[in-house]
Amino acid sequence: MPQESLPSLTKIASAFGQGDLGPPAMSHHGWISSTSSLRKQNPELESRSKDAHKSRDALWETLTMSLLAEKGVPKRTVRSCFESLWRPDGRGAVEDVNLIRWIDDNAWFKVGLWTLREWSQVYGMRSRSRGLGRLNFFFSLKSKNAESLQQNTTNHSAEELDEFIGVLHRVLSSGMRLACSTSTQCPVAMVHPDVNIDDEIFFLKGCTMLVVLRKCSGVYNDRYRVIGGAFSRSSRIPNSTRRFELQPWPKELPLEEISLC
């Protein structure tokens, strides 16, 4: 079967509905309330780096499997909803206990340099910075007041937040899990619930989704077993404009034959 090998998995977030039951949710009040001050604690979160912004956007688009983007929801709206997820206004809007536990259990799940909670606070939306710049110019706001305005400004309505939470619930309750990989091009993906560390993600010719494969053991250790599908915003099927649209296999990608056991 022709294929193009991608990364192997290095870390997998806890599954929806299977996280640590832990202490009651109220015990998390302290760190939930302090999320809005993360930028003050770590100024690097106010990065103007395009790479940091792309990585942040790749996270929320992967977590929602691009379902909101395909519905035409503006990126700035989804960014704002993602920003609120580990803050009182966002987490407080979640009604499903399993989703609350997923948010709590994976707040410190690390993707590259930062945790999910920290990535959600990466700041740099141009519309906000331009607006604040105008306010500073005309009204000479003190930096402390400007910072307060930054932290309290949202670009989503209550209905849009509910839609974001609903899509996140739909993806996670399906069993798909967030995973990190060895690739810089495909650092995060949503993967089948039965995956293990060191499983590999592949493009398979003719498939419209990424596929997770696992090397067989014993006498068939040169073959692979199919585990399930995967999704990554940063590594969709090449030349594909929609996730479920079959596209011609790109000539620039080398093909190798693999055997399934």
> In the 3-class helix/strand/coil scheme, how is the chain assigned residue by residue?
CEEEEEEEEEEECCCCCCCCCCCCHHHHHHHHHHHHHHHHHCHHHHCCCHHHHHHHHHHHHHHCCCHHHHCCCCHHHHHHHHHHCCCHHHHCCCCCHHHHHHHHHCCCCEECCEEHHHHCCCCCCHHHHHHHHHHHHHHCCCHHHHHHHHHHCCCCCHHHHHHHHHHHHHHHHCCCEEEEECCCCCCEEEECCCCCCCCEEEEECCCCCEEEEEECCHHHCCCEEEEEEEECHHHCCCCCCCCCCCCCCCCCCCCEECCEC
pLDDT at 194: 95
pLDDT at 22: 52
Q: Is 103 a member of any domain? A: yes
Q: Is 247 a member of any domain? A: yes
Q: Which residues contact 119 (CB under 8 A, 6 or more apart)?
A: 55, 56, 59, 111
Please tell me the distance from the alpha carbon of residue 96 to that of residue 251, in angstroms, as a whole number: 46
Q: Is 40 a member of any domain? A: yes
Q: Which residue has the tokens 């055997």?
A: 259
pLDDT at 205: 76
Of 152, 174, 196, the position where a domain reaches its end is 174
Question: Do residues 163 and 144 both lie within one domain?
Answer: yes
Q: Taking the chain (261 residues) in consecutive chunks of 10 residues, what is each chunk's mean pLDDT?
A: 67 82 51 88 83 89 93 94 94 94 93 92 58 40 42 79 97 96 80 94 82 85 89 55 38 69 82
Q: Is 5 a member of any domain? A: no
Question: Do residues 153 and 185 both lie within one domain?
Answer: no
Q: Is 13 a member of any domain? A: no
Question: Do residues 117 and 217 both lie within one domain?
Answer: no
pLDDT at 33: 86
Question: Do residues 111 and 190 both lie within one domain?
Answer: no
Please tell me the distance from the alpha carbon of residue 53 to that of residue 82, in angstroms, as a whole number: 13
**Length of the chain in residues, anyone?**
261
pLDDT at 219: 73
What is the total count of domains within the chain?
2
Of 174, 205, 226, the position where a domain reaches its end is 174
Q: Is 143 a member of any domain? A: yes
Q: Note down the domain range covering 32.
A: 20-174
pLDDT at 154: 78
Of 130, 153, 174, the position where a domain reaches its end is 174
Question: Do residues 203 and 145 both lie within one domain?
Answer: no
